[in-house]
Amino acid sequence: MAPGISRRIWGKLVHVLVLATFTILLAFPFYWMLITSFKQNLDLYTMENNPFIFNARPTLDHLKFLFTETRFVRWLGNTAFVGVIVVAITLLLAVPAAYSLARLSGRWGERLGIGIFLTYLVPPTLLFIPLSRVVAYLGLQDSLWALILVYPTFTVPFSIWLLMGFFKSIPKELEDAAMVDGLTRFGAFIKLVIPISVSGILTVVIFTFTLVTQEFVYALTFISSESNQMIGTGIPIFLVRGDVYYWGALMAACLIASLPIAFMYNLFLDRFIAGFTVGAVK
């Protein structure tokens, strides 16, 4: 009896230790952002101070600086603006495409779907040089519209892939029944398929929006002026003046911009994962 119990306790202890170690390692930078955001500069920049605790009273100065003396709010607005329009474009392109590919009979639908999925693997770092010329040619340098034009290249393929899986799970008989009742295929799509697919469409909305907020390479290449930055480029590049890093404000900005995205992503995690696993998990 006794060895069994001690073994269970050991197992539990190891489990807790492993989880604690990984959680601390992975979440530490965010804890560090949090504590840095509220420390006075005097506290931050004294080498002898224990950095894990507040050696002086916490302060809101960094937040005040961030919101009043930088373009942080503007960058949040830019990101939201680009995000919303890219979501709209992505839905317009991906929903009909995914639906028709899901309903395409034979193996061609599947093959085309996989072909589109593979374009998701073509990285921005391969395309940013030629695209910078395309953007210049269209006169969109330093314009948020350059990002709106280009971002669907990575949001559309993955969204089609996610939605295809979703539409396939809707039985075809449902639409056939609706069409017998006098609806056209398009009518059946709008009145029947879209309403059932709300959660799939919502998944695409959230996924697209998070991809837009996470993008860095195109924003860095196409956008030059301070007021047109996205959060991903504005914070690391324009919150540094010359060689001076405003660490308090920088960390506050990182945390404020990261948390909402993290919450949204978490809500839909299982569906995103289903998209990434390429059907290898049933």
Partner 1 sequence: MFSPAVLYILLLVGGPFFLAIFYAFSDARIGNAEMHFVGLENFRSILQSPSFRVAIRNSFIFTICSQIVVIVGANILAISLEKTFRGRGIIRFLILLPWVAPIALGAIGWKWILDSIYSVITWVLVAIHIYKPFSAPMWLGEPRLAIASVLLVHSWRLMPFSTVILLAGRTAIPKDIPEAAAVDGAGFWRTQLQIVIPMMRPIISVAVLFGLIFTFTDMTVVYILTAGGPFDSTQTLPSLAFALGIQGSDLAAGAAISLFLVPLLVIIAYFMLRVAHRAEVN
Count H helices and E strands in the chain, helices first: 16, 2
Which parts of 199-218 interact with partner 1 (CB under 8 A)?
Answer: 210, 213-214, 216-217
| Whether 234 contacts 75, CB under 8 Å | yes
Count of beta carbons in the 10 Å neighbourhood of residue 275: 21
Q: Does 235 bind partner 1 (CB under 8 A)?
A: yes
Q: Does 184 bind partner 1 (CB under 8 A)?
A: no
Residue of 38, 72, 75, 99 that binds partner 1 (CB under 8 A): 99
Report in angstroms the alpha-carbon separations of 53 from 20, 35, 138, 273.
Answer: 20, 8, 52, 38
* DSSP 3-state of 61: helix
Q: Does 155 bind partner 1 (CB under 8 A)?
A: no
DSSP states of 130-154: HHHHHHHHTT-TT-HHHHHHHTHHH
* DSSP 3-state of 9: helix
Q: What proportions of the chain, in percent to the nearest 5, are helix, strand and coil? A: 75, 0, 20
Choices 67-75, 97-105, 171-179, 194-202 (CB under 8 A): range interacting with partner 1: 97-105
Q: Does 273 bind partner 1 (CB under 8 A)?
A: yes
Q: Which is nearer to partner 1, 210 or 228 (CB)?
A: 210
Min dist CB 140 to partner 1, Å, is: 13
φ/ψ (deg, to 5) at 240: -110, 120
Q: Which is nearer to partner 1, 48 or 173 (CB)?
A: 48
Q: Which is nearer to partner 1, 96 or 187 (CB)?
A: 96
Q: Does 158 bind partner 1 (CB under 8 A)?
A: no
Q: Which is nearer to partner 1, 179 or 217 (CB)?
A: 217
| Whether 82 contacts 212, CB under 8 Å | yes
Q: Which is nearer to partner 1, 164 or 178 (CB)?
A: 164
Residue of 180, 198, 244, 281 that binds partner 1 (CB under 8 A): 281
Interface mask (CB under 8 A) for partner 1, residues 51-70, using x and -?
A: xx------------------
Which parts of 18-37 interact with partner 1 (CB under 8 A)?
Answer: 18-19, 22-23, 25-30, 32-33, 36
Q: In sequence order, what are the beta bridge partners of 183?
A: none
